[in-house]
Amino acid sequence: MSDRTARVPNDLRAFWMPFTANRQFKAAPRMFVAAEGVHYTTAEGRQVLDGTSGLWCCNAGHKRPKIVEAIQKQAEELDYAPAFQMGHPKAFELANRVIDIAPEGMEHVFYTNSGSESVETALKIAIAYHRARGDAGRTRLIGRERGYHGVNFGGISVGGIVANRKHFGSLLNGVDHLPHTHLPENAYSRGQPEHGAHLADELERIVGLHDPSTIAAVIVEPMAGSTGVLIPPKGYLQKLRDITKKHGILLIFDEVITGFGRVGAAFGSQRYGVTPDLITCAKGLTNGVIPMGAVLATAEIHDAFMTGPENMIELFHGYTYSGNPMACAAGLATLETYREEALFERAADLAPYWEDALHSLKGLPHVIDIRNDGLIGAVELEPIAGQPTRRAFQAFLDAYEAGCLIRTTGDIIALSPPLIFEKAHIDQLIGTLGDVLKKLG
């Protein structure tokens, strides 16, 4: 028994695992015990190529020295500081560094601890912003089918993944959904698909259904990740921007996946050339190493709260761990790593190679669509009748056995490698996936 195997506990019952088939997992557990660069090490001592950047978050790869050192140093210097009525320098410094790379017009950063919390925070800011301006009737929210905005009640209400919603009661009132943008005529698109900008016109219909003066915000992922990598059709996001602006509705981009380089720019807003009013982010902000999220806001939104007596609390919202010093230290070191290694540019440079590799899987058994942008991609498989998700899950298990970590959502295989991937890693990942698909029943 190796030293690492010895560290794996025998009793796995107590931990109720999230988004996991617990019974299946506990019967044949898959455990990672170490990670470095683009590889995980399993409890059995096998190397597994990380084709997903953890959960779309370890954009700079694993065990990055600068980040490790920053966390170690911070733990010795200032482990925790109260988040309310007190500050510490790194929280301010990190906010400035995030704004340096954020889309033009984003000027303020509100910290959270996850993508889900960023979403709740952004929705609350949107509603409170209108109220602060004397527009308290604007409380309705508009999300999108197949949208993923985390798992809290606001997020699943505006989200549109049915399985995430249907078990949890009546959810928030006053929510409508735009149609998703996954059109069959866009199959095998490379980069942004041609068809679907017209789907944004549905927003006019929903606005017409209610009075525009009742609607606070529209929230979408610029590129929908968790629902299977749906790249925005050309012109679609700009249409959403134009319609929201026309009606005084805030536009929120949920950039929890697209933030920090995934699509070959710091943010998806920059990649797709459309700037919203609020941006949610998390994951890549700290390279996934310490939980942290943020909401980025324009000066207009922030300043609407900065009225009234100076000693008055402007926004009644926050978390014990908002701007946690350990997370801020990790965030600063992460952003430095991205900059020093020009990782966002690297993602853009590697994107054509990635695209060609991914699309070489066209024609393999069961493959019905392939799509990509930046360093993200998806391979959609034909579901087995009456057994949705089974085929893709089998591919996940087989790929893991063959030394590659991939991710599945429904019958879609989603890939999002660390931005430090070399071309040889792309070849290995796509080669392994090809072999797996050829053998899949």
Q: Which residues bind ligand PMP (CB under 6 A)?
A: 114-116, 119, 148-150, 221, 225-226, 254, 256-257, 282
Give least dist CB 155 to ligand PMP, A.
6
Helix (H, G, I), strand (E, B) or coil at 228: coil
Give least dist CB 396 to ligand PMP, A.
17
Return d(Cα 269, Cα 398) in angstroms, integer: 36
Sign (positive/negative) of CA torsion 218, 222, 289, 157? positive
> How far, in Å, are 110, 301, 344 from residue 106 at the CA level?
11, 10, 19
| Cα dihedral 433, 371, 114, 311 in deg (nearest 10) | 160
Give least dist CB 317 to ligand PMP, A.
17
Give least dist CB 154 to ligand PMP, A.
11
Helix (H) or strand (E) holding 191: none
Task: Give the nearer residue to ligand PMP in terms of CB position, either 116 or 275.
Answer: 116
Task: Give the nearer residue to ligand PMP in terms of CB position, either 257 or 297.
Answer: 257
Q: Identify the bridge partners of residue 252 per DSSP, sorted by sequence position.
A: 219, 278
Task: Give the nearer residue to ligand PMP in terms of CB position, either 237 or 256.
Answer: 256
Sign (positive/negative) of CA torsion 279, 282, 283, 285? positive
Return d(Cα 316, Cα 298) in angstroms, integer: 19
Sign (positive/negative) of CA torsion 115, 128, 145, 185? negative
Task: Give the nearer residue to ligand PMP in terms of CB position, either 130 or 149.
Answer: 149
Return d(Cα 280, Cα 152) in angstroms, integer: 14
- Read off the amino acid at residue 175: V
Nearest residue to ligand PMP, scored by beta-carbon proximity: 115
Whether residue 46 contacts residue 403, with contact meaning beta carbons closer than 8 Å, is answered with yes
Give least dist CB 149 to ligand PMP, A.
5
DSSP letter for 132, please: H
Q: Give residue 328's Cα distance to chain centre.
A: 19
Cβ-Cβ contacts under 8 Å for 158 (sequence gap 6 or more): 119, 123, 141, 142, 143, 147, 149, 172, 175, 177, 219
Helix (H) or strand (E) holding 381: strand 376-381
Task: Give the nearer residue to ligand PMP in terms of CB position, either 95 or 229.
Answer: 229
Task: Give the nearer residue to ligand PMP in terms of CB position, either 115 or 143.
Answer: 115
Give least dist CB 200 to ligand PMP, A.
18
Taking each helix axis from N to C terminus, what angle separates 390-401 and 423-439, rounded to the nearest 10 degrees?
130
Give least dist CB 221 to ligand PMP, A.
5
Give least dist CB 70 to ligand PMP, A.
21
Give least dist CB 6 to ligand PMP, A.
31
Task: Give the nearer residue to ligand PMP in terms of CB position, either 67 or 123.
Answer: 123
| Cα dihedral 59, 285, 223, 201 in deg (nearest 10) | -170
Nearest to 213 by CA among 180, 262, 246, 236: 246
Return d(Cα 250, Cα 334) in angstroms, integer: 30
Task: Give the nearer residue to ligand PMP in terms of CB position, either 221 or 411.
Answer: 221
Q: Identify the bridge partners of residue 176 per DSSP, sorted by sequence position.
A: 142
Task: Give the nearer residue to ligand PMP in terms of CB position, either 219 or 357.
Answer: 219
Give least dist CB 166 to ligand PMP, A.
18
Task: Give the nearer residue to ligand PMP in terms of CB position, either 116 or 287.
Answer: 116
Give least dist CB 225 to ligand PMP, A.
5
Task: Give the nearer residue to ligand PMP in terms of CB position, either 217 or 282.
Answer: 282
